């Protein structure tokens, strides 16, 4: 019998802002960008009764809660708080699967002998976070990941809920089918048409009946409805790519206007590659037009690299080929990591001429910030620095779809 805890920080970015600025405590707070084109990054619980939610367009959020206080996101502060939260997790188990900066699954099966019952461990973790970081969190405790995630959702804010193995089916039965992982609007509509409105309705149906109507996902949904979820907690899966992207407050037109941003993104990616000790050869450029059309272009370099100028030249070539003169709202540069081990020759190859320069720039950036030394075209632009994007981790933390 496994013991799995899902810990989720409550309104994480907004809670960090309220902690760091006591004047914001208890106030309706929106963390977000441009009032007309940005999105809500986080919404405090005080502003949620007005219908404001994360990922909502800022224009709609401000209209729904005109009295709310709006602050711009401070990603370095959130990244630092996240590192402190995960350090607390590590006191209780090494089996931690991050889903994002502010939530994770913890397998504490082997920790019970040291720290007590799973619910006690969750309580200790939340107390440590509250006492040391002055931040609220919620937790769900169950024998499977799927149920632990739902339990933490229902425990919010600042609470915890345990679902014992023998309680699992009854706990799930009354919940809407939309709570099942993998059920989107179309599947939910199909289930509703079939008379299946709750998870309990799905659990009582014959598997063959579900498979006939839903294909292979029929069995998957039936197993979830029964509380069957064999997936393990997988600690920090290795990244497959490293990237950086920015959404502009105003659309940009023309290659010249985009160059400093592409350059800055290439340098940010290169710094992260060197920091992680990895390299890549497949460079991808991402462009989002003002009408939200998404364009991606990629090229493969002859040699693996972690050099920002090399990445910039490749991305710029892709930009010049892909750009059609239309307004651009977002650009991004990413590098697919090279998984093949380097071939060793009889004599070790000399390091590239840029290696010493990159190492020196990295040391300066680490000590004084990435804006302390940069390229001339970036220095005169408003392209964000790497310091403002510490939350962009080169780790796959995509949560399962629900």
**Residues annotated as part of the active site:** 103
Contact 141, 124 (CB under 8 A): no
Look at the chain and count its residues. Answer: 402
Contact 54, 40 (CB under 8 A): yes
Instruction: Give the closest residue to 285 by CA, choosing from 238, 248, 234, 246.
Output: 246
The residues that bridge with 100 in the sheet, in sequence order, are 103
User: 349: burial class by Cβ within 10 Å (0-12, 13-18, 19+)?
Assistant: exposed
> DSSP alpha helices (H): ranges in 194-229?
199-203, 207-214, 217-225
Contact 144, 229 (CB under 8 A): yes
Contact 287, 295 (CB under 8 A): yes
**Residue 382 neighbours by CB distance under 10 Å:** 11
Residues near 127 by Cβ (< 8 Å), separated by ≥ 6? none
Contact 141, 118 (CB under 8 A): yes
> DSSP alpha helices (H): ranges in 244-328?
255-276, 308-322
């Amino acid at each position: 019998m496994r013991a799995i805890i899902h810990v989720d920080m409550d309104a994480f970015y907004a809670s960090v802002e309220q902690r760091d600025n006591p004047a914001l405590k208890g106030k309706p707070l929106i963390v977000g960008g441009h009032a007309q084109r940005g999105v809500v990054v986080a919404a405090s619980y005080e502003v949620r009764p007005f219908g404001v939610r994360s990922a909502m367009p800022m224009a709609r959020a401000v209209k729904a809660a005109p009295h709310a206080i709006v602050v711009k996101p401070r990603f370095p502060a959130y990244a630092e708080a996240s590192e402190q939260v995960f350090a607390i997790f590590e006191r209780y188990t090494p089996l931690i699967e991050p889903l994002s900066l502010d939530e994770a699954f913890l397998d504490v099966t082997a920790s019970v002998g040291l720290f007590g019952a799973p619910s006690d461990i969750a309580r200790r973790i939340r107390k440590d976070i509250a006492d040391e970081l002055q931040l609220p969190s919620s937790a769900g405790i169950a024998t499977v990941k799927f149920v632990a995630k739902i339990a933490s959702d229902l425990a919010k804010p600042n609470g915890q809920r345990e679902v014992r193995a023998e309680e699992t089916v009854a706990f799930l039965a009354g919940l809407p089918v939309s709570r099942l992982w993998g059920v989107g609007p179309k599947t939910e509509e199909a289930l509703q048409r079939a008379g299946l409105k709750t998870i309990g309705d799905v659990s009582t149906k014959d598997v063959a009946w579900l498979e006939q109507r839903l294909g292979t996902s029929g069995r998957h949904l039936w197993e979830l409805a029964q509380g069957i979820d064999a997936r393990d907690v997988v600690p920090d899966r290795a990244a497959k790519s490293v990237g950086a992207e920015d959404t502009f407050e105003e659309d940009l037109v023309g290659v010249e206007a985009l160059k400093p941003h592409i350059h800055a993104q290439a340098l940010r990616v290169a710094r992260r590659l060197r920091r992680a000790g990895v390299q890549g050869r497949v460079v991808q450029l991402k462009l989002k037009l003002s009408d939200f059309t998404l364009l991606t272009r990629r090229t493969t370099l002859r040699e693996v690299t972690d050099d920002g100028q090399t990445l910039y030249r490749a991305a710029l070539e892709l930009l010049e080929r892909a750009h059609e003169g239309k307004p651009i709202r977002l650009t991004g540069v990413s590098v697919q990591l090279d998984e093949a081990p380097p071939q060793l020759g009889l004599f070790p190859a000399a390091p590239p001429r840029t290696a010493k320069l990159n190492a020196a720039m990295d040391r300066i950036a680490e000590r004084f910030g990435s804006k302390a030394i940069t390229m001339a075209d970036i220095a005169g632009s408003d392209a964000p620095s790497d310091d403002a994007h510490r939350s962009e981790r080169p780790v796959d933390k995509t949560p399962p779809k629900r």
